[in-house]
Structure formats: structure tokens, C-alpha cells
Structure 1
């Protein structure tokens, strides 16, 4: 009989998903010629006549509901995938558009996850799945969000095998997707374990539908339908009840039991012997079913169990004399063990429940065959130009020398392509003494550790190996370039620059990739040292030498040039370069799936943030900040965490903002990066300033200032993270808010002049803005507006929105004063739009302030000595949160009350304090000593 396909089929190892997709370039239909690995990930499970309809599950999921997320969670073999497939088919019949994505461990790379998600969404829309291979992860992420948010018709996105996901970036992206879903869309997730998702908020809002193992268990009626209906076993009620109880409705065990019972006459006696937990029962039944197959079939299955992807040619290599194509077709038609994957050539995959079992059986029965089979597979893949699979199987075979021999000619190429996760996976399995025997591989190992895990660890490895004194000039060139990068990543910029200058005197033709990398890094270091002309010349050189053709170096060249543009205040030009850099990995099968792009990706996110495109920048920050943290890029980590904290603070999530800065500070301590620690304190002082807490802000500034050597170094150099965020600027900002604004304005004018004379245009613009704010606060509004107009024109032309917005309500008030003058319409409608963008985040706060603001030059009213009526304990808590910058929604969540309850408390507070708005309430609260 045709047996049903077990649920939760595992996805194949996707070493070249993008290459598979590229095969569709000339395809008229998205399913035609889709590569096997890509097709396996986005194809929904095939339905079979032997599948048992899961009517209750299907009706529950397909009925109208408010859920944005449906979680189908149960151990292996409970029929999650089958049930999800039936739900998808029913939704399609109801007019829903649907997309399917099966995940695997490789999808813990956020950039790869969004590329795969884009494939699934394109497949849903019947679009061609190729043609945009060069898109960066940033572009794809934004495109995916736009595609989801813009959908007009009902749709459902199915994501299976989510238990393989643990990466915070991927989890954050899924949260973003769920948050951005339109009202008529929802996501269905299948997982064997509790996913690492924050489900509490969705559950509290009634937006989570949970289907667990209890709901997925077969009922007695469904068990009877499977065994007596499809399997035609004619079991009596007692036998059915016994099987139902001992399997507890576990679909996989019931199906395996049906296969075993087909060949038995004494079925009742066989059923009586069933007992034990799920795993032993599955092993027992699987062995029994396997033993019932003809010997040639058993041998074929066991021999092929070492493969992740089955095709006739590679199976032939492992089974000489066997017609593998016919065998695979026969197994597929019988519904046993393999699933067909729709692709250009016939391809199959083992069902996940049997793949581990078969490998365990092979190791138990024929342990001597395991390495031989892996070696045969390795040789076949080597002969057919598949180095990744060839190396994988060589490692699985335990043949270290073969694996290293295969890796040696490709190691630098894999590094140049940015395939860092792949390299890290291999190095984790290869012995260090074997790696040390090949200096080229050893240097690539050090690069990989530096760019994925820890530059400190990589530096220790490089110093122990001492490759820089090797006899080979090529090895020395690679080692020198790696040494300079390590020093730069460890924030030892001055040492790196001097070491790099010595290395540049050597011939540039020794090793193209190493020299292109060295020149690129030196350009960035020259920028930091303040030598921009030298940096431009080095970047021109980087574009002309051979190694510049690698994806990694093209990315660094464009990003380094954009970094110079940004420091010169040319945001639009910098954004274009960062966008190009983030997508420069295109053209290779792993385009977009690179850790190296954390460098360019975070710069692109920074540019989007500075332009006020927070909704576009935030998902990119979710991808790249964890990567920058893991790699240990100081400036990127400082900028990334600071941007995330500012976004959270502006939304009223003050707790998250300070938690992010605590994480940044901890990162600095862990990585021994004092500049990172001091920067976390500086940003914390800025948030406290925006809360109006002068004393706490000044205290945090004093703590930051304790790192005297750090700030002396920062002022002498030009770090990206500190070009507009330094201790000097922070102190001047505090002075204009809480000190003598007139004195602050004069100091800011001098600092602006110094920055302009040094060619630091971005910093000069920030200082000029603060000077305008100081003049406004000092009561010199005409002077403030006169100074602001030319600055605002420049900021508008460059699109620097956050330079204004990040300075808080006072900057918005300056923009509103300019807007009220009426001159913007006569000058430039684009400037009018720019001013609105600067005002909008604080519109409600400014309106409240204007409502309670006395006329200019009016005598100050007499202030009461105490509230009209004492505030309750809950009202005082609300007032405290209000002073800290929490939004109404955030206060509701923090106090575990409804939004309307918070509004009631605010009205009572205003009445008792005799004020009319939030700003006045905070001021009165401070005056009455109600706010700590």
C-alpha cells in the first residue's frame, strides 16, 4: 500500500540557494527549473490520498479570528506539517493567498532568512524567482516588509521547522513581520519546541492562537480511519483502543504501526507487546518496517543515508550497479522514506524522522562503511565541481587531510566571497594541529574568528603561529593584512595605521586579496586619523588591484568612501555608497548571506536613520547590531546600540532604551574596549537630559569623563561614533539646557569655528544647531532664527532629519518658530516638508506646551505652593513615568492597566496640579517635589 508521508520533512542543506534560484532566470513560471534546495524550502508539503483529514485543526485555523500568529507546536511525528499543509490548502480554497517556508539551521543568518522569505513571497505572487541576486540583505528586508504591509487581499504565511531558529536577529525580524501584518494577514509557525519568541504581548491581546500536542493527537475516530480505512487492517475495537492508548494518538507511531501490522497475522498479540515512550517505540517500529523491506532496498537506504540531498547520479556513486533513478522513483511511489522535490532534475530528500534513524542504523550495523560512503560522496562532489559538499563529506568521513587538501585551493576564495559562517562551521570540526600545518588555511581561520567571534582570540592565534615571519612572501602578505585588521578591530587604531604604512611599502602584487584588504583597511584608518586625501588615494588604489574583485573588498571600498562622505556631511551621497556596499556581494551563490556585510550594513542603517527613515533602519539594526556585537566592531556597536536606544526612548519604552545601553556597556567591559564603555555612559547622560533630569545627567557625564585618556584620544582622532557625539559636545549640550545658555552659545560658536577650520563639516553642523538652540533658550529668538535659516537649508539639502529630531523638543520648537515665520513657503516647499518632519515627533508635546505657555514678555504668574489636592499613590507613579518620557501605551503596559485608565490618571493629575498639559504637569511635579 501507499504509506502516508510523515510530517516535518527536513529541508536539505542549502549551500547554494541563490545559485538554485538563478536557474530560473529564463523560466516563465516560478516552479519551473527551480533549484532543488530552494524548491524544497518554499514548496508546501504534498498531499497524499493516505493523509488523514485534520478537520478540527483545519477549522480552527481557517475560521475567522483575531490572531496575528498561529503557533503549531508539538514533538516530531505529531503531524504538524501535514496539518499546516491542509490548513494552507483550505485557506487557498477560501481565497487566501499563501506562502510556505521550511527553515533549517542555516537560516539563523538573518540576511539569508529574509532572502528565503522573499523567495516564498515571490512564489506566492507567481513572480520569477531570479534576477535580483545582487540585492543586499538590507534591500531584501525592506522589500519583504513593504510587500507584506502592502498586501490588499487576505493572506497567510506558513513557516515550518522554526525549532531550528535561535538567532536573535532572525527572531527580531519575525517579530517585526508580525507587528507589520495588515488586518487580513496572519503567520502560522510550526515548531517542535517552544520558539524563542516573546508571545506574552500577543497572548494578552488575543492575537495568538496556540495548537499544541494535545490538540494534534489523533482521536480514536482518526486512528480508526487511518488503520481500518486507509490501511484496511480490520482491527477490532479493543486493538484500536490499545494502540490509541499506548501511542497516545501520536501520528508517526500509528503510521509506523500500520506498516508493521500489514505483514502480521497475529495482530492482537503484536499490539499487546507495544509499550514504552515515544522514542523507543519509534525506533522499534522503524527497525521493524525497515526489516520488512527487501535486502536491496535496505542496503540502498542505509548507503544513501549519509547524503543530505538525493539524486540518481550521486546515489549511483554510493551504490555501484544499482539503478538509483528507478529505485528512487519506486520508493517515492510507495510513499516510503523519501519525498520528491520539484526541480529541474529529479531530486529527493529523506524524511526527517527516518534520516537520523537510518544514519544510526548504518553506524550500528556497518560502522566501517560510514567513512567509505562519505569519501565516495566527497569524491563525486569534487569531480562535479561542488567543493562545499566535497569538503563536508570529507570532514564527516574523518579524513582531515583530504578535507584540508580540498579546502586549501578554495579557502581564500571563500573568505573573499564572505562565506564566513561556512568557514566557521568547518573550522569548528577540524583539529587545530591539522589547520596549523597549512599557513594559508590558518590565516583564513584567524580571519574567520576575527570577523565572526572574537578579534582577541584571533590575535592570540596569529601571534602563536607567527605567520608574519614565514619564508613565503605570499604568506607574509596575508598575515600582515590580517594583523592590521586585527589591530583595527581591537580599536588599536594608531598601531594599526603605523603597521599598515610599513606593510604598504612592500610590493602590491604578492597576494591580490591580501593587498586589496590592506589598502581598504588603511583607507579607513587614514580617515580616522584625519588624513582624508590619503584615504581617497588609497581607495582609488584599492579599486585597481586584483583582489578588489572579491565581494568582501568591493563592499569595504564603497563603504569606506561613504564613510568619508558622511563625515563631510554629505548624507545623500554616503547613503548611495552604503546602499551599494551592502549589496556588493551579489553575483555569488551566497549573495547577501555574509557576516562581512555587518560593516556596510550598519553604515547603511545609520544613513537611513539620519535621514529620518526609522521604519526602514530599524529592521536592519535588528540584523546588524547583533553581528557587530559578536564581531566586536567598536564604532558600529556604539552607533547601533545608541540608535536602537534612541528609537526605543522616543517611542516611550524607556526601560528598553536604558537596557540597550547597559548591554553596550557590558560589551565594552567584556571586550576590553574602554571607548565603548565611556560611550554607553555618554548616551545614557543624553537620555537623562531629555528626561529633564539635570542632576542625573550631569552625574553620568562626570562618570564618562573619568576615562580621560579615552576622550583625549577621541578628540585627537575622527571616529565615526564620535564625530557628532563626543564628551565636549555633550557638556555643551548640558550647559545650554541647564546652565547659562548665553555662555553655552558663545562656547558653541567657537567650537563650530574650530570644527569648520578642520574640515569637519558634519560636526560643525551639529555644533551650529546646538548654538541656535542655546540662543533660543537664552531668549534671543531673532538671533536664533537668523542663524538657523542657512543651517536648515543645508540640513534639508542633505536630508539630515535626525540631527534635529535627536535634540528633542527644543529643536522641534526651533523648527516650529521657523515654520511660523512663513518664510519657508517663499523659499522652498522641500524645506517646509523637512521642517514638518522635524516637528512631527514632538507635535503633541509642543501643542501642549503652547497651550499652557504665557505670552512673550508677560509677567510670570504666582506659582501655588502645593497641589490643589494630594495625588494618589498610583497618580504619583504615573507622574514619575510621565517625567521619564514614557508614552501612554508604555505606561499602560508597565502598570498593567488599560490605556483609558492611564488617560483618566492623567486628567486627574492635571486637575490636581492645576495644569493643562503633560509638560506643565511634569514641571509642577518637580516644583512640588513629587518627582524623584
Structure 2
């Protein structure tokens, strides 16, 4: 099935990344402020851990405002945590909070969640974050997590732990929580890099209570010591006590929560009825704005009522937002929700539905509707945005949201089964996908949704290919192709059909299916549709595919532009394979460099990372880079074994081993060849695709050749060499050249010439020589130096000499694909030069985007390219280099 399209980061309430504005009437707390200010400016990690209502958020917000700006400014990334925050949303919030500081990202910040899914992904994300933070030119930077006790995704704490270890000296992490966060703190304590503020540190002392009473003087005076004893310096209790009539709650109250509810009842009951009911109805919202409250409470007076809430100081913080936004304290909001359910129980489902209507955050919207029991609406919202979530690596979020539905609702709703199947696809969990997609297809058919049923049936085929049921998938796709479908659906069906032909080793039929897919796509020049078809490199070299792939690449770049996307990386992979299949190794290396840059920028999506390792393993072998080749081959195999479900491993393990095995042959590493062959033979199972037995036989032939058992090798090579194709994935061409070499070694020169002739006839245009290079330098050297005489035309002999000379370069030092770029203006494209000039002029990314009519995403990519090519780490260093070059 197509890969999910890359889309912008998910929407969320911007109030999540806006610190609260300090309230009027706060008393000075010199002892706490001095210690907290010192921690914020000096420590790697600052913890504020205390129960609810101890003023953690207020203390932080006030102290951050009191920090000196310093000569280079203060950077603040504030994230208020919600219970349903998963890693993708947390990363999106953090990246957006850092946006004003123009971090020199080397990975797209929108792709961090995808990067987290790779091997060592969380560590890689932490490294990318730390490197980007190090490139900022600020006096002090702080990442603040407020309400961290709400975090339920353990991956976020893993990420934070890794980030703490890598934080640059000018940056600190601040965590406010009701409970101890799941972080390893012992080493930081021992190193003096941790500051902790607990309940005792945050409680008000008698002098501060007295100052608070003086500030709120009016009417009868309460005794400071008595109030301190009653509240134990608890900020929430102090505040409510001052808001109630003197003498209230003098009796002993068993817990702080009971005290809060008792006092809050007094406060709420004294409010005007309109304001009280407004507060109760709007308590379903984590953040309150005029628009959102007006929609939920259905009142035209939301602006006036919100201002009244702020004026009365009703446990609401004003957020630093462009739009007037209040956030209620958790204790007060919980209290209000309890009262709402008591006073207006019948209204709650309607309020939750209204809250979901205009909610940009998918997790919140589905959460509201789930609480309301509005399963129809929740299904529509989740299904509509599933592809978008997959595009930013949020498959785990989709799976978490599916758990909000009762089992019977999940089972009877095909849209939810479709989401379940889509969420399984990035993990290559074909067993889960197959069951979910079959249930979805059956459900759509019962509902008369024929187009949805057809698309889902095409998705079912991905599962069938991995369940050893290839004949079923072929019958299914044959039936689907006979249906009257629109071009978008038709493109998907024919794309699946092209894959079905490849999977079933019917290579002659791949091009006709691909041609129909391409014709359908070209009639719908919509970028988001084309983005769903990025992976075609396995079709390189198949009969009739080269002109189709060239056409696809040209159309894709014309329709979707030259921005870094999975589609562009897929096109560059095609070009790398085509160059490799034409013996243009330098050109292949250039395309690989671009592939690697895009793959890294996009967060190493697994489908791209796998394709990159496939071609890179062979390219490095052909260049004689033994260590790098074996390292990449091991990465390819280890990624599959360690991070794939059984349904994926049992089909594809032999394929990735076969690629590494062919590299071992090219390098003439006989020890590695025998080891990988043994692994390949053990990997045999009933679920492999039809090409696997021939690959396994070819592997045994290579070992026989390495052992000098030429007759055994001949018997194994002959049936494989009967086919003639240009594919780099099938071994027929390689087998034919190796068979001719074997015959040459046995003195059968005439027979060797006859063996080679069908291949020469096939490659007369010299544009595709197939897997000939994979025969390796020794084979090609012997073939080109043989005394062919009149047995081979001069042009054929010249081709052998050319291929041998291409591989004659092996053993020379070859720069790695990640080597440093030229540190001069010549290494920059015209657009990058223009962007660099703007950076040197002091323009932000936003201004640069506006000046050149570019997306912010594209500007970030240009900045990353510029820093890499100039070999610098910061925008300031890049600007200095520009001035040097133009002095």
C-alpha cells in the first residue's frame, strides 16, 4: 500500500506552549526567588515536586520573568502537559515552542516523531535536539515541562533522560510535577547539576503569609499565624481562605483537597448565577478563549465573563497568547467538573460535543466525544485524520485513541478497523493489518460504501502477500481492476497490482500495471495523492520500466516540487538504482548523497532507510569499501530482525541477507560469504516470495565457486542464468556472467561466448546493463582479458572492458556519503546563497520565508544545507563565513 503522506505537524492548542502571565497581587518571596533564580540560570535540571496547589506554576512563571535577559537573550520553550500527550504530540509542542529561536535543525522538526521510531530513535532525537539547541546563540535557554505528572507515555521520560545527558551548557531543563518524575537523578545530584524544590521549599512561611494578608487587606483581619497553621503554607488554601468570608473553615478539615472543596464551594456559591453557570459549563475546556467558551456555553457574553473571572482571581492563569486565554488550575477545574456533573448532568454530553466541534487537537477531540459516548462523531473525526497522523509518525497515537472505544463499537465500525490496519502498516505488522483490513472491507461492503470497500480490499493484499496467500491477492486485484473506479482509487489498485506481479515474480507484467497507475495519477495532479506513492526502486531494470520510472520521476517533481519529502527521496532512490544499473557509480553516489540527506532530514522513515541501506550496501561493495559495506549490511539485517514482527521477518529476512551476500561476493570476503550463506539457508520458510529459492540456490553457487567446486557451481547457476533481465534485484544477469566466467576457467571459450550472447543482445543500447557489475571485479577482469577473437564483436568486448575498468577503481579511498561539503560559496546552490545572505543580514526564518515565498519547512531545510556545506554549527558562524567570502 502507499506510504502515508508527509504533512505538517499535528494541530494542538497553542496555549499548551505559552507560559502563564504572572498575576497581579503576588507577594515577594525573596528566599524562594533567590534559590529558584540561581537554579534556573545555572543547573542542568531543576525539579519542582509538590502536591497540587503549592504554586509550582506561579513560582516558575514569575521567576522566569525576573531572569536577566543577558547580552544574547533568553530562550524559553514552555510545554504544559496533558494526560493524553503521546511522544509525537509532545515533540510537536516542543519543536513549535522552540520555533521563535530559529534553531539550526539538521532534521526536520516535524519529522522527530518518525526519527524516534528508528533503531536507537529516542537517543537520535535527543542528539538532534541537543545539537540544535547548541546552535542557538542565547545567553540562557530553558525547556519547561509543567504538570509533568500527567505524562503517561514512558518514551517521553526516556527522551528527557537522554536529552539531559546531552544538554549544552547554556540550556537547562525544568520539570514541575506533583510526583517524582521517572528520571535517573542520582548522578545529577552527585555532580551538583540538579536543583530540587519540594513541598517544604514551596510552602509559604509566616512572613510571606503576613505580607499576603497585608496585600489583601480589607474588612476583618485574619491572624497570619492562625492562617498558616490552618493551611500549612499551602498556596491554594491561602488563596481560597482570603477569598471567603472571615471565619470560614476554621474547623479542622481532614485533607487539603477537602479544604479546597469546602472553601471553593463558598467562593462558587457567592458568584453571580450567570458567571457560576458559565464557569461550570466551560470547565470541560483545558484552556478558555472567547471563541471556545462562546461555542461551548452558547453565550454571546463570553468576553465579559472571562474578564470577570480574571478580575476576581478565580484560580485562572492568563496565558502569554495572542488571543486572550485563561487556564484554570487543575484543582479548581476538577472541583467545577464535579459540580457540573452534580448540577447539570444532562448537559455534559452536549457540552463535550460542542467542545469537540472546533478542537484542532485530535486526541482532545476524540477524548471529548468518547466521554460523551458520541461514538459516531468520534469515529468520523478519527478516520478523517488518520493518514495525517501516520504522516508525522503518530501511529501509536492512533492506537491509543482506538482504546477509548468499547470493544463492541470497535468491532462493528469498519472505519475504526481501517484505522487499526493503517496504524499497523508503519510497523510492518502484516498479521494485524490483514485481519483489520478484512473486517473493514466486509463492513464497508455491508454499508454499500463500494469505493471504500475496494480500496480496503487492495490494502488486504499487503497482508495476503505476507501470509503466503499470493493466489488470493492476485484474484482479488483482478476483480478490483474490473470495477469502475475514480482515478485516485484506480491508481492505488494498479499500484498494488504492480507489486502483486513483482511479488509473484511475473516480471513482464509489472510495467503494464505501473503504466495504468501512472496514467491515472497524471489525470489527478494533486501533490497529496502523489505523495502516497514513493516506493518503486524494486521495479528498476524490469522489462519496460525505465521509461515509466523516468516519466514518474519527472511528473512527481513537477507536481510536488523539489522540497524534501518521502516522494522526492523515493525518486532519488530510483535515480540511484538506474545509475547503478548503468555502471555510472559516481552518479549513483551523488544520488545516494541526496537520498541520505533527505532521509536524515525526514527522520529516517523506515521505508526510506531500508531502501537507502539496500542500494548503499551494493554501492559500497562496488567501490571496495569493505568495512562501511559490512556495517551497512548488518544495519539492514539487524533492523529487520530486531524491529519487525514475525509476519515481516519471515518474508523479507532472506531478501536483506541476499543483498549482503552479493556484497560479500563482490568484496571477495569468503569468510563473510559463508557466514551469510548459512544464515540465508536457515531463513528458509513457507512464507517467502517465489524468488527466494533461486536466491538461495545462487547463494550456494557462490559458496561453491569460493570453494573451487566449479561443477557444483555450474549446476546451480545454469537454471538461474536461463532468464535474461536487467534487474539488480534478480540474480539472472549476474548468474549469466559468472557462468560464462566458469566456462572460461574450464577452457570452454566458445561456450562462454554463447552464454554471454543473450545478455549482449539485451543491452545493445548500453543504458541498462543490469546486475553485470555485481559479478564482481575478478569475474569482469577475466572476461574482458579473455582471448575472444572473432567470438565477440568489438563493441561487446569494449563493454566488458568498460565494466572491468569501472570496478578497477575499487580499493581507492572514497569519501563517505556523509563527508563534509566544500566550505565555500561554490558548494551552495543559488537559493542557498540567497538564504545565506538573508541570514547574514539578521533575518529570521519567518522573514526569509516571506521574502522568497517559501514555506518555513523549506527554509529550515535550506539552513540545514547551508550549515552542513559551510561546516559550521550556528547561524552566526554562517553569517561570519558569508562576510569572509564577500570581503
In the alignment, does 2:707 pair up with 1:758?
no
**Shift of residue 326, structure 1, vs aligned partner:** 0.6
Output one character per residue of 1:430-470: Cα deviation in whole Å (capped at 9) or x when no partner.
4565567666x366445445447855345335545734864
Does the CA contact (< 8 Å) of 1:81 and 1:160 recur in 2?
no
Match of residue 890 from structure 1: none
Q: Deviations over 1:889-925 (max 9, x none)?
A: xxxxxxxxxxxxxxxxxxxxxxxxxxxxxxxxxxxxx
Does the residue aligned with 1:159 lie in a helix, a strand or coil? strand
Question: Which among 268, 283, 303 is matched to residue 281 of structure 2?
Answer: 303
Alpha-carbon contact 1:309-1:349 (below 8 Å) kept: yes
| In the alignment, structure 1 residue 41 sits paired with structure 2 residue 16 | yes
8 A contact 1:134–1:585 mirrored in 2: no
Residue from 98, 108, 121 that aligns with 2:75: 98
Higher relative contact order (CA 8 A, sep 6+): 2
Verify: 1:706 aligned to 2:682, yes or no. yes
Aligned match for 1:361, one of 316, 326, 339? 339
1:102 Cα shift?
A: 1.1
Q: Secondary structure at the match of 2:314?
A: coil
Aligned to 2:58: 82
SS at match of 2:317: strand
CA distance in 2, matches of 1:111, 1:659: 25
Change (3 A) 1:373 1:687: same
Query: How do residues 241-256 of structure 1 correspond to structure 2 at under 5 angstroms?
Result: 242-243=229-230, 246=232, 253-256=234-237
Query: CA 1:152–1:306 in structure 2 vs 1: closer, same or farther (change >3 Å)?
Result: closer
- Separation in 2, partners of 1:110, 1:334: 37
Q: Using a 3 Å threshold, how does the CA distance of structure 1 residues 423 and 120 change in structure 2: closer, same or farther?
A: closer
Return the offset for 1:579.
11
Q: Give the alignment of 1:838-877 within 5 angstroms.
A: none
The answer to whether the 8 Å contact 1:555/1:582 transfers is no
The residue aligned with 1:332 is: 310
1:668–1:676 CA contact under 8 A, matched in 2: no
How far apart in 2 are the matches of 1:180 and 1:101? 19
Residue aligned with 1:836, SS: coil
What pairs with 1:500-519 in structure 2 (closer than 5 Å)?
500-509=477-486, 514-519=489-494
Q: Say whether 1:224 aligns with 2:220.
A: no
User: What's 1:868 paired with?
Assistant: none
Does residue 483 in structure 1 map to residue 464 in structure 2?
no
Q: Is contact 1:157–1:186 with CA below 8 Å preserved after alignment? A: yes
Give the drift of 1:258.
3.0
**Correspondence for 1:555 among 526, 531, 534:** 531
Do the aligned partners of 1:154 and 1:184 also contact (CA within 8 Å) in 2?
yes
The DSSP-based 3-state class of the residue aligned with 2:67 is helix
In 1, are the aligned partners of 2:614 and 2:656 still within 8 Å (CA)?
no
Shift of 1:481: 2.7
Provide the residue aligned with 1:836 in structure 2.
815
Query: How many Å separate the matches in 1 of 2:203 and 2:556?
Result: 52
Look up the match of 2:373: 398
- Contact 2:319–2:326 (CA<8 Å) still a contact in 1? yes
Show CA shifts across 1:107-157 (max 9, x none).
Answer: 856555554434322323599xxxx99999779989977743432443414
* 1:373 counterpart = 2:351: yes
Q: Counterparts of 1:81 and 1:357 in 2: how far apart (Å)? A: 19
Partner of residue 818, structure 1: 812
1:258 aligns with 2:239: yes
What is the 5 A alignment of 1:615-654? 624=605
Alignment of 1:651-666 (within 5 A): 665=641
Matched with 2:226 is 239
CA distance in 2, matches of 1:113, 1:575: 37
Asked if 1:273 corresponds to 2:252, the answer is yes
Matched, 1:499 2:476: yes
- In the other structure, the counterpart of 2:171 is 185
Q: 1:677 to 1:360 in 2, by over 3 A?
A: farther
| Alignment CA distance shift 1:316-1:44 (3 Å) | closer
Once the two structures are superposed, the pairs formed by residues 89-238 of structure 1 within 5 Å of their partners are: 89-93=66-70, 95-104=72-81, 112-124=89-101, 147-161=132-146, 162-165=148-151, 181-195=167-181, 203=188, 206=191, 208-213=193-198, 216-218=201-203, 220=205, 223-224=208-209, 227-228=212-213, 230-232=215-217, 236=223, 238=225
State the TM-score, normalized to the length of structure 2. Answer: 0.61
The structure 2 residue matched to 1:533, chosen from 497, 506, 511, is 511
In the aligned structure 2, how far is the partner of 1:471 from the partner of 1:371? 27
Contact 1:524 1:560 in 2 (8 A): no
Alignment of 1:522 with 2:492, yes or no, is no
Q: Shift of residue 204 of structure 1?
A: 9.1
Q: Once the 2 structures are TM-superposed, how far is the Cα of residue 273 of structure 1 from its aligned partner?
A: 1.1
Superposed displacement of residue 301, structure 1: 1.1
Tell me, yes or no, if the aligned pair for 2:71 and 2:139 is still in contact at 8 Å. Answer: no
Shift, 1:489, TM fit: 6.5
Offset, 1:90: 0.8
Q: Which residue of 1 aligns with 2:838?
A: none
* 2:863 corresponding residue in structure 1: none
- Residues 477-519 of structure 1 show CA distances to partners (whole Å, capped at 9, x for unaligned) of 244234234435767566434522331122223xx65444323
Provide closer, same or farther for how the CA distance between residues 489 and 298 of structure 1 changes in structure 2, counting only shifts above 3 A.
Answer: farther
Q: What SS does the aligned partner of 1:99 have? A: strand
How many residues align? The count is 710
The Cα offsets for residues 708-761 of structure 1, whole Å up to 9 and x where unpaired, read as 34696374599xxxxxxx76798799999xx769999x99x989x969953234
Matches of 2:517 and 2:341, distance apart in 1: 54
TM-score, reference length from structure 1: 0.58
Once the two structures are superposed, residues 160-194 of structure 1 have per-residue CA deviations (whole angstroms, 9 ceiling, x without a partner) of 14455555776676567666654433444444555
Residues 312 and 324 in structure 1, CA contact (< 8 A), matched pair in contact too: yes
- Paired residues for 1:654-693 under 5 Å: 665=641, 671=647, 673-675=649-651
Q: CA deviation at 1:304?
A: 1.3
Whole-Å separation in 1 of the counterparts to 2:83 and 2:775? 47
**DSSP-derived class of the 2:460 partner:** helix
Question: Matched residues in 2 for 1:339 and 1:544: separation?
Answer: 53
- Structure 2: give runs of 5+ residues left out of the alignment: 1-6, 117-124, 578-588, 619-625, 735-769, 786-797, 821-887
Q: Secondary structure at the match of 1:758?
A: coil
3-state DSSP class of the match of 2:288? Answer: coil
Determine the structure 1 residue equivalent to 2:876: none
Partner of residue 329, structure 2 = 351
CA drift of 1:302 comes to: 1.0
State the distance in 2 between where 1:766 and 1:178 align. Answer: 48
Other structure's SS at 2:816 match: helix
SS at match of 1:98: strand
List per-residue Cα deviations over 1:7-49 (Å, max 9, x = no partner). Answer: xxxxxxxxx99697xxxxxxxxxxxxxxxx5541332321234
List alignment gaps of at least 5 residues for structure 1: 1-15, 21-36, 248-252, 644-648, 719-725, 781-785, 796-813, 820-834, 842-932
- TM-superposition CA deviations, 1:772-811 (whole Å, max 9, x none): 59999xxx9xxxxx9999789979xxxxxxxxxxxxxxxx
SS at match of 1:158: strand
The answer on 1:456 being equivalent to 2:431 is yes
Partner of 1:708, secondary structure, is: coil
Query: What SS does the corresponding residue of 2:511 show, helix, strand or coil?
Result: helix
